[in-house]
Chain A
Amino acid sequence: MAGILRAPSAFAVTPHKVSTCILIQIYAPPAQISVPFPFSSVTQHNRLGLYLLALTKSCDDIFEPKLAELLNQLREIGGLMDQWLTNHLTNRLSALQSPDDLFNFFSEMRGILGGLDSGVVEDDQIILDPNSNLGLFLRRCILAFNLLSFEGVCHLLTNIGIYCNECFSTCPTYELQHLDDPSNEVEVLSEYENMDLENYISEKITEEIEAGITSKGVSFHLYLPKALSTLVEGADIEASTNPKLEHSNKVGEHSLYTPSSSNALRNVDPRGGVFLRSNWQMQGYFMERAEAIEKHGSSFSSSAFELILRQLQKLAPELDRVHFLRYLNSLYHDDYFAALENLHCYFDYSAGTEGFDFLSPTPGTNSFGRYEIALLCLGMMHFHFGHPKQALEVFTEAVRVSQQQSNDSCLAYTLAAICNLLSEIGISSTTGMLGSSYSPMISVGTSLSVQQQLFVLLKGSLKRAESLKLKQLVAANHLAVAKFDLTHVQRPLISFGPKASMKLKTCPINVCKELRSCSRLVSAFSSEGSGLTMEGAFCTAWLKNLQKPIGSLVLSEDHGSGNNANPSQFCTQPSSIHGSLLQLVGSSYLLRATAWEMYGSAPLAQVHALVYATCFADTSSSLDATLVHVKLIQHLAIFKGYKEAFAALKIAEEKFLCISKSRILILKLQLLHERALHRGHLKLAQQVCDQLGVLASSITGVDMDLKTEASLRHARTFLAAKQFSQATAVAHSLFCMCYKFNLQVENASVLLLLAEIHMKSGNAVLGLPYALASLSFCQSFNLDLLKASATLILAELLLSLGTTHRKGALTLIHGVFPMILGHGGLELCARAYIAEAKCHLSDPSFSVSENSEVVLDPLKQASEDLQALEYHELAAEAFYLMAFVFDKLGHLEEREEAAAQFKKHIMVLENPQAVEDPLFNL
């Protein structure tokens, strides 16, 4: 606030605005019939109107266009009358020679406005409604001019002089160009002709703007105008043949990577001539930039943007938002100190008040400022940089201050942020941090484990958000709860006493419910329409950094929705759904994919991931986008083999050049590790596994997922190396860790691994209890695919106990076949086939010659799959069995072939370093 000290920056009259006024006058000359003089058709007339609207609203740049640019654009717009237009404009401008001319000019402007009281309006007459968009603009210009002191008028006059001179000196060729005849424009525009855009747009906008402008000061969230400007510009450019303007066609994509390089180069000319756009447009620009930074992460050029910001700060020091953008910029470029500095600076200046655009300006609430938001942001910054402890500390403070200031929405957001922190990074112990808080719901948590505490917090946060009607927060909370439920193991509430059942279970239904209630919000929003702007006490860009991967709990409500790259999209979706909303819905799809992955339906998981990738790609944040790529590539690796997976990985790596490198890096390591295991490159596998382990944070209780995964892979590597005792030791300690941190779901796979280790080491009897335990875990946690694979292991164990158990094993295998074939990957299928074949072969009553297909078909299938995976060990086994069968059948030739294949795989397995890996270049 500190408005005490600072004069509110007003809407200033600039030369550009004067030109716009002149154009408005052309557009709506007083008392004329429907198609005024210079215009040859309604289309043309409408087109100028559209252009003017765009001119007053666009926020793709910080500076007002120079006269030369304006003239160029007019040439595109003007069609047949371009010469008349430009001449008229320049003549009018150069006629302004003395202060008195300016006075006359503006009083003339007043004449354009149709009076509210001017009784009869003829049907065809053009009247600029004073409350329309352009009318408002004109009124503001006139008002601003009337407020000017004489010195101000003198400034304006000199500036107009500079504005004109600059144009005539820098582009002497402007006379030459206007004989192009873009006759094709008429066709293009004809589609708009019927839409009565002016009506449509002005209706739409005025409600929005009125809300912003009239409620004192400039509203923060102005998203519609930009969409509008791109709509109009897009339309123009499609028609234009001028390559010079072509570049702006991809406003979204291109300018993101080289953010308005023209600005950066355009030095601030101390002689004037460079003016910032209206405050309102600036805010729109900021929103857009903030979104772009957030979406593109570190691929956003840092220094170029910083340059613009610095310039902006010099030109308009009163725009506090610049500090915030600098903060965002440094945040996404991992510059901790700059981010910290700018964050503090921003909140020192704005006192957090800028974030609320419909904060009631009652004096009582303003006296303190909104510093709790500063805390919230600081906490999220620490979270982003991976300082969970500091983040929690700050959040605790935020909770306290929000309570003191009774800022409920901030409290709700803070709680959500804490949930996010706890579930994303995890923390070893929160006692003593949250304990000192007064919050009833947090203080309950002190005696609970982190998991339970998270649960309590999530419930509380959800309730709070619901009662405050913060819809997006509610949706995000639903997502968070769903994510929590996914791995949350419920215990029955009454579990005291010796006879209480200790049955654990997860609840997929809950997950589903939560996901549904999240998606339901879309309909709530689309029915609400513009109410969205009012939604949420501080729906600002800075909440963006809250999101992190998996189901990214997007709390942001960013405006200026992301579909800017494609103007046609806007046309097809009149009720343009909000970018942030789309992000939320997208995240719910991602979470669905994750859920199906867990519950064991690979096709469904893939479908959801694909839905996300196709429908939400342009609104997704870079983190979500990488996540979906990771999922799809993993799917490829499991179902199609490594070749394709690595090809896809290469593409992904190029696409996400340096963004969230860690996620792609982890995937790469995972794939490399798996392939190395299959190929038998154990040294490499060990190396990769170690690298994976290093990526996790060293703090206990943090980054548990990665740690679990690393040690699981470690154990597997030992297993592949036939070092059973080490493998068992690692798996055991992993089990203990998972138990300690309540990671029950992970334990199912650890148990399975233990069973496998015992099986491979020849202790089938020892393996049995583990397999059974894993099986029961899977059952109660609804992990169907894992259950199938546990059953398979059980069958294999039974098989290795002796032929007497052969029958039971076969039944087991047949029981899970539908699951495995439907949802399992190549490896699992192959293993099932081989196990089945083994069962048959070990049956003394089974005659190979009679039912050779029963064994041969699965073996063939298995060998194909395994070759795709380059899983030499199992492939060798399959070929061995095949050779055995062929031998029995007496097919010598085929037997030799299978034997040769067997030999080949064995050879490769024994000389693992024969093939050098080009991909291993970390």
Chain B
Amino acid sequence: MNSKENCRNELRTAVLQLSDRCLYSASKWAAEQLVGIEHDPAKFTPSNTRFQRGSSSIRRRFRTNELTSTPVTGVSYVSTPVMEEDEAVNGDFYLLAKSYFHCREYRRAGHVLREQTGKKSDFLRCYALYLAGEKRKEEEMIELEGPLGKSYAVNRELVSLERELSALHKNGMLDSFGLYLYGLVLKEKGNENLARTVLVNSVNSYPWNWSAWLELQALCSTIDILNSLTLNNHWMKEFFLASAYQELRMHNESLAKYEHLQGIFGFSNYIQAQIAKVQYSLREFEQVEVIFEELLRIDPFRVEDMDVYSNVLYTKECFSALSYLAHRVILTDKYRPETCCIIGNYYSLKGQHEKSVMYFKRALKLNKNYLSAWTLMGHEYVEMKNIPAAVDAYRRAVDISPRDYRAWYGLGQTYEMMAMPFYALHYFRKSVFLQPNDSRLWIAMAQCYEAEQLHMVEEAIKCYGRAANCNDREAIALHKLAKLHKELGRSDEAAFYYKKDLERMEAEDREGPNMVEALMFLAQHYKARNRFEESEVYCTRLLDYTGPERETAKSLLRGMRMDRSGFPSMDVEHLPP
């Protein structure tokens, strides 16, 4: 297809250009997408599609709309990248610098290019300096303080880089890569607004630099900011939006975008992984598992995003699968934060919390801002009853991203554990605000209100009500609602919720004490309301169970029959003679 061919050509050029500028991760990403474009099956031999066989089967299983294989029409895209390469008068120095860069000798690379002019050399020189500063910063972080402590090490190149780049920017001497770097520097310096403008300029003039998009995304902390960006229409924008929506937890919008993109990039592992992550946020664990299994089959040495997979396995308590995954990733790359996180998850599942904490700590050593590791470590500390440490870990997570509802929830739970329900409410409120559609959060908050120390039943009922409205899987809310209403003596409401709960249990085919309780209450309630027929139905159902309820039901039934049979005679008795 034409547009597929276009994309392919664009990406091919972009990969070359990006790797020429040593923007590795962007070029890696571009190359992945390049391979991810669905091929015309007629033209290619099976060997070419070897890596892609499975993905189509995933698609068959989960793609609902096959129509999306054609791109949206009527959208004007900017054309293929035609970068005027500034010419290689000093090409040799550039080559040398690049080689140094490859060998991670950044300062040397910068030094080689010190007297070179031209946008490309300028970019590489500045970029090398920036990376040198980053590297030094990382080292200093370790030197100055323990790696887990927050550290104030800064990239010491930033100031001079900003000065130089802003001068170049003013003179219009920055190409889109230079703009990207300038934006990066500005962002590090905390000048977010300017950084945003510069990055928008960069991606508008050269959309294939995924790193620039990522930086831009990090600057879009709210949907309003995202909507205020003026971005040219390009298919890369779709990737950006999908990712940004995901970050802003607009999961359904994000999913729609990804599914749409799959029309072109049918075999993109990246998209698959992202879809899996979105599904994970939507708690569709089955699908996530299938996708990851498939991904691992195609790309067995993948470590990226595998921590999400391990979370799923953890939730499903798949011991062996989790250990297999851990084994696999540790052989692939031991020193990746994801790897450590997976192992931490495994130990946590095994109940060996000390070891688990050790691995989470290692993950954090590798990446201080690894959000989920902080949260997970908090969970482990909770298990170990080390409350201050747990609180501290959660708080770190929250400080890294104030939108992390899990950490807020963890904080709330911790305080609740300490019998400080009122204090915990603050945290639950926060988490509920961020994730208003999660029934678990509402239930947790309701339990706080319900706690014997607070006993604010009205508020608890409100929270349970919210929980019941957002698809409460464990079906706690309905039962609780019924119970609380019963306690408050509002038997009509209680009956309403018991009935609903009953229906639900029937639909899900669950049995248990809740069922008996509901039946018992309904039987008694209808009897008190003189609706004997309904009451009898419930009583009869109760007869199926053993225990004291059965006897009560029997006596109820007997009573009702007596009543009904005795009714006329009593009537007569009461008539005045």
Identify the A interface with B (CB < 8 A).
1-2, 4-7, 9, 149, 151-152, 155, 270-271, 314-318, 340, 344-345, 348-349, 351, 353, 366-369, 371, 374-375, 378, 393-394, 396-397, 400-401, 404, 436
Contact = CB atoms under 8 A, between A and B. Distances in A.
B89 to A, nearest CB: 34
B559 interface: no
A328 to B, nearest CB: 18
Interface residues of B, number: 42
Contacts of A7: 145-146, 148-149
15 contacts: A1-B392, A4-B392, A5-B148, A6-B149, A7-B145, A7-B146, A270-B155, A271-B159, A348-B394, A351-B387, A367-B387, A369-B391, A375-B422, A397-B423, A401-B420
Contacts of A152: 143
A6 B146 contact: yes
Please provide the 4 A-B residue pairs with the shortest distance between their CB atoms, ordered closest to farther: A2-B392, A317-B150, A7-B146, A348-B395
B156 interface: yes
B325 to A, nearest CB: 27
A375 B423 CA distance: 7
A348 B422 CA distance: 15
Contacts of B144: 155
A375 B424 CA distance: 11
The residue among B152, B156, B159, B411 with the most chain A CB atoms within 10 A of its own CB is B152
Question: Secondary structure at chain B's binding surface: helix, strand, loop or mixed?
Answer: helix
Interface string B136-178: 0001100111101111101110110000000000000000000
Interface stretch (B79-87, B198-206, B316-324, B451-459): B451-459
B158 A270 contact: yes
B159 A270 contact: yes
A152 B411 CA distance: 37
A318 B454 contact: no
A349 B395 contact: yes
A351 B391 contact: yes
A439 to B, nearest CB: 13
B389 interface: yes
Contacts of B392: 1-2, 4-6, 348-349, 351
B426 interface: yes
B30 interface: no
A340 B452 CA distance: 25
B566 interface: no
Contacts of A400: 419, 453
Interface in B396-441: 396, 399, 411, 415, 418-423, 426-427
Given A7-B149, A317-B150, A368 B156 contact: no
Contact of B420 (A5, A9, A366, A371): A371
B451 to A, nearest CB: 10
Nearest to A432: B455
A314 to B, nearest CB: 6
Nearest to A368: B387
B351 interface: no
A317 B452 contact: no
Nearest to A394: B422
B184 to A, nearest CB: 16
Given A149-B143, A155-B144, A318-B150, 14 more contacts: A4-B392, A5-B393, A271-B159, A315-B152, A316-B152, A317-B151, A349-B395, A351-B388, A351-B392, A366-B388, A367-B386, A378-B423, A394-B422, A397-B453
A498 B386 CA distance: 62
Nearest to B422: A397
Given A5-B149, A6-B146, A375 B389 contact: no
A5 B426 contact: no
B391 A348 contact: yes
B143 A155 contact: yes
B116 to A, nearest CB: 26
A494 B419 CA distance: 42
Nearest to A393: B422
Contacts of B391: 2, 348, 351, 369
Given A4-B389, A394-B422, A401-B419, A314 B149 contact: no
Contact of B389 (A5, A396, A404): A5
B508 to A, nearest CB: 37
Nearest to A437: B453
The residue among A2, A316, A374, A401 with the most chain B CB atoms within 10 A of its own CB is A2
Contacts of A6: 146, 148-149, 392
The residue among B392, B415, B426, B455 with the most chain A CB atoms within 10 A of its own CB is B392
A110 B388 CA distance: 41
B162 to A, nearest CB: 10
A317 B387 contact: no
Given A393-B454, A401-B418, A4 B159 contact: no
B152 A317 contact: yes
B570 to A, nearest CB: 44
B156 A271 contact: yes
Nearest to A315: B152
Nearest to A148: B143
Contact of A397 (B154, B155, B394, B420): B420
Nearest to B381: A4
Contacts of B395: 345, 348-349
A318 B426 contact: no
Contacts of A314: 152
Interface in B101-143: 139-140, 143
A155 B422 CA distance: 47
Contact of B452 (A393, A396, A436): A436
A368 B388 contact: yes
Nearest to A397: B422
A151 B150 contact: no
Contact of A318 (B140, B143, B149): B149
The residue among B385, B389, B455 with the most chain A CB atoms within 10 A of its own CB is B389
A337 to B, nearest CB: 11
Contacts of B454: 393
Contacts of B151: 317
